[in-house]
Amino acid sequence: MEVIHLSPWDLSIAALLVMALALLTSRVGMGLSKGLLVAATRTVIQLLLIGLVLTTLFEHAALHWVALMALIMLLVAGREVMARQARRFRGWWGYGIGTLAMFTSAFTATILALTVIISPAPWWEPQYAIPLLGMLLGNTMTGIALGLDRLTTTAWQQRRMIEGRLILGQTWSESIQDIRRDAARSGLMPIINAMAAAGIVSLPGMMTGQILAGTPPMEAVKYQILVMFLITAGTGFGTLGAIWLGARRLFDERERLRLDRLA
């Protein structure tokens, strides 16, 4: 099945929809029009650049180039996790907690899929490694950002209650247990909703792309199931790990609440 190629005019028609949305949000005073236009511009520039990079990478496949690309993706994702939080940890902790959690969860799930499940030759084949890692990092980034934001914001709002529990003799873990649970729910809710609605309310992106490219629907479905499970595991373990590290950082070695560690 031949792929239908899109012209710049085709893309400009879709861009008009975003511009119309920006105009509407401006007219009703929502203050989102500038953000929408900037995000749309960044989308075009970033995707065009990554298209050029991936074209070169696929033509000159080598493990060190794939590893470099993966490292850049991880570092950028770590910055985005920190940038989206209302109250974030000061210093390198704000960047390091999310980055470490994503590295541990998303990279582990990606390497497992490449070496055990999909098994391309070589196992780091960029055609499989980069898109798979990108999907896992993107979803894990969202879960961690939501979870940490809920954790730090709620801890700030309920600091009196946490300190009261500490005075009554609870440990740091017990005093913030309810907040950690709510933060984990916030981080995992998007991927749970995505799994629950997959195939009924929406066709996930990877499956849609493969079908548009001519892949048999059932083969696309199998890949999408694999990806959804990997994303869920990566997001879940990454979010839980980041929330535990973040919660521990809110207390010092004497188990005193230290909100001065938040910016």
Q: Where are the domains of the chain?
A: 1-60, 61-261
Residue 140's pLDDT is 93
pLDDT attached to residue 101: 94
pLDDT at residue 83 in the model = 82
- Tell me, what's the pLDDT at 154? 95
Q: 47-56: string of b/e by CB count within 10 Å (b at 16+)? A: eeeeeeebee
| CA–CA separation, 43 and 58 (whole Å) | 22
β strands within 13-169, DSSP E? none
Q: Is 257 helix (H, G, I), strand (E, B) or coil?
A: strand
In a 3-state reduction of DSSP, which class is residue 109? helix
Supply the pLDDT for residue 241.
Answer: 95
In the chain, the amino acid numbered 192 is I
Per-residue pLDDT of the chain (263 residues; tens, 9 = 90+): 566 778 888 889 999 999 999 899 888 887 888 888 999 999 999 889 988 988 888 888 889 999 999 999 999 999 988 887 888 898 899 899 999 999 999 999 999 999 999 998 899 999 899 989 999 999 999 999 999 999 999 999 999 999 999 999 999 999 999 999 999 999 999 989 888 887 776 667 777 777 777 778 888 888 888 888 999 999 999 999 999 999 999 999 999 999 988 88
| pTM of this prediction exceeds 0.95 | no
Rounded to whole angstroms, the Cα distance separating 172 from 90 reads 20
Based on the number of CB atoms within 10 Å of its own CB, is 70 exposed (0-12), middle (13-18) or buried (19 or more)? buried
Q: What is the pLDDT of residue 53?
A: 87
CA dihedral 246, 193, 191, 82 (to 10 degrees): -40
Task: Say if residues 120 and 186 touch (Cβ distance below 8 Å).
Answer: no
pLDDT (0 to 100) of residue 84: 73
C-alpha angle with apex 239: 199 to 210, nearest 5 degrees? 30
Give the pLDDT confidence score for residue 7 in this predicted structure.
Answer: 86
Neighbours of 179 (CB within 10 A): 22
What is the model's pLDDT at position 246? 94
Task: Determine the pLDDT at residue 1.
Answer: 56
Task: Give residue 2's pLDDT.
Answer: 62
